[in-house]
């Protein structure tokens, strides 16, 4: 995947405490209306900065988030059965539709998968246990769809605009800025764990079907995957994937109509 960028957290420059201390003690309190105007101007700058984030910068942010997710979850070693199976069923998918992909498995029981805007794709072993190869492929195609259609990038820009506390710290080599490590958890929550719109999910489902056809996979893997998610959810398992995705039974029905 495009994970060649390894970013180290940097600290924003700060005023020297000794020089600031005396001035702070002697300065009068700022009027309330001045503080309010400062908040407004700060929020406006935040919106303007988020709107002008470059593609390179966006990839760097997603790279940080991918690294953080890999830090939190155990990656399957190359010779692990899950890694071997995933490599086999995604053979030839180092790149697809103009995207460089890094597809790996997590050794975690969650029935889940995700993709990042830098081309990271992660599939949880719990999902692989529940699904056959073509069903896993359809889930991967759906997640790639979110990347290609820039759904994650749009959520990233919204998160950068809305989170007034988010620190974009320092400048790394090459002039690419990064999010402070202390802020990564909040960014993950706002970008990864927020639910996509119904329109975005439908578009990614359509993309998955096109992906399956283009790769010569069995398209029935898509509605079949949704059937399994619906059955698992009906059992009260609290499927992680369904916390950010719409009703799988309805999606399966729609997919079958498209396949005919």
User: Is residue 222, in this structure, part of any structural domain at all?
Assistant: no
Q: Domain range spanning residue 178?
A: 45-194
User: Is residue 202, in this structure, part of any structural domain at all?
Assistant: no
Q: What is the pLDDT of residues 186-195, one digit of tens each?
A: 666 666 666 6
135, with CB counted inside 10 A (0-12, 13-18, 19+), is buried
144, with CB counted inside 10 A (0-12, 13-18, 19+), is buried
User: Is residue 137, in this structure, part of any structural domain at all?
Assistant: yes
Cα dihedral 206, 209, 210, 216, rounded to 10, equals 180
Catalytic residue numbers? 143
User: In the prediction, which pLDDT does 157 show?
Assistant: 79
Q: What is the pLDDT of residues 33-61, one digit of tens each?
A: 444 544 433 444 544 454 566 778 888 88
User: Is residue 154, in this structure, part of any structural domain at all?
Assistant: yes
The domain tally of the chain equals 1
User: In the prediction, which pLDDT does 179 show?
Assistant: 61
Q: What is the pTM of this model?
A: 0.72
User: In the prediction, which pLDDT does 78 show?
Assistant: 97
User: In the prediction, which pLDDT does 206 show?
Assistant: 97
User: Is residue 152, in this structure, part of any structural domain at all?
Assistant: yes
**Which residues of the chain fall below pLDDT 70?**
1-53, 162-196, 235-245
User: Is residue 125, in this structure, part of any structural domain at all?
Assistant: yes
Q: Compute the C-alpha angle 48/52/56, nearest 5°.
A: 150
User: Is residue 205, in this structure, part of any structural domain at all?
Assistant: no
């Amino acid at each position: 995947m495009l994970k060649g960028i390894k970013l180290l957290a940097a600290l924003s420059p700060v005023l020297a405490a000794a020089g600031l201390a005396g001035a702070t003690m002697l300065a009068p309190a700022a009027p309330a209306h001045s503080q309010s105007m400062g908040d407004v101007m700060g929020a406006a700058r935040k919106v303007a900065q988020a709107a002008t984030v470059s593609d390179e910068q966006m990839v760097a942010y997603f790279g940080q988030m991918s690294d953080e997710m890999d830090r939190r979850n155990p990656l399957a070693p190359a010779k692990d059965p899950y890694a071997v199976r995933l490599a086999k069923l995604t053979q030839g998918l180092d790149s697809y539709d103009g995207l460089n992909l890094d597809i790996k498995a997590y050794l975690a029981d969650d029935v889940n998968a995700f993709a990042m805007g830098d081309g990271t794709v992660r599939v949880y072993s719990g999902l692989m246990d529940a699904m056959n190869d073509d069903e896993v492929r359809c889930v991967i195609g759906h997640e790639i769809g979110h990347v290609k259609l820039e759904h994650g990038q749009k959520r990233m820009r919204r998160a950068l605009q809305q989170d007034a506390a988010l620190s974009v710290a320092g400048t790394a080599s090459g002039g690419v800025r990064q999010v402070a490590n202390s802020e990564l958890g909040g960014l993950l929550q706002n970008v990864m764990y927020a639910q996509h719109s119904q329109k975005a999910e439908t578009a990614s489902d359509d993309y998955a079907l096109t992906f399956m056809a283009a790769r010569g996979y069995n398209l029935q893997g898509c509605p079949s995957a949704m059937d399994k998610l619906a059955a698992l959810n009906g059992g009260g398992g609290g499927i992680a994937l369904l916390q950010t995705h719409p009703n799988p039974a309805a999606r399966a029905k729609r997919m079958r109509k498209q396949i005919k």
